[in-house]
Amino acid sequence: MAEGSEAERVAEARARITETPAAAAIARRGAGDAVFLDVRELPEWNLFRIPGAVHVPLGTLAAAARAAVPRDRDVIVYCNAGSRSVLATDQLRAMGFTRVSSLSGGVRAWLDAGGELED
């Protein structure tokens, strides 16, 4: 990834990935046809999460992705507001994952759209 500010890195990554709007992600969860990957840090995960999500913090993604992220299912990556998930999605695509997208607006947008959370 190129040097620059966090905002610049996110903007560059966003141009290379697909984003899933919150309402579509809620429908996908309801249908059970996607895996949700939470890339927030452990204290954030411990507060709340999308039910059934897999947790791999962004900082450990490179080491843990091959074991924790399925290649045979669609994966929707999320964080708090959507920036870390954009970077994680870009990183996963660079690692050869093809069925991956970022939850646009993160878990905040999920909640605003009526999505369920668990403690």
Question: Which tens digits make up the pLDDT trace of 11-23?
Answer: 999 999 999 999 9
- At residue 37, φ and ψ (nearest 5 deg) are -115, 115
Tokens linked to 59:
């900082």
Whether the pLDDT of residue 46 is over 80: the answer is yes
79 is catalytic: yes
pLDDT in tens, 96-105: 999 999 999 9
Catalytic-role residue among 53, 56, 76, 79:
79
Confidence class for position 4, pLDDT limits 50, 70, 90: confident
CB < 8 Å & 24+ apart, contacts of 80-83: 80/40, 80/44, 80/106, 80/107, 80/108, 81/105, 81/106, 81/108, 82/19, 82/106, 82/108, 82/109, 83/6, 83/10
Q: Which domains does the chain have, with CATH numbers?
A: 6-112 (3.40.250.10)
Query: How far apart are the C-alpha atoms of 88 and 85, rounded to whole Å?
Result: 5
CA distances from 34 to 43, 76, 93, 101 (A): 24, 7, 16, 10
Whether the pLDDT of residue 2 is over 70: the answer is no
Share of the chain above pLDDT 90, in %: 97
Contact 117, 111 (CB under 8 A): yes
Residue 3 confidence (pLDDT): 61
Residues 6+ apart with CB under 8 A from 27: none
pTM score: 0.94
Mean confidence (pLDDT) of the chain: 95
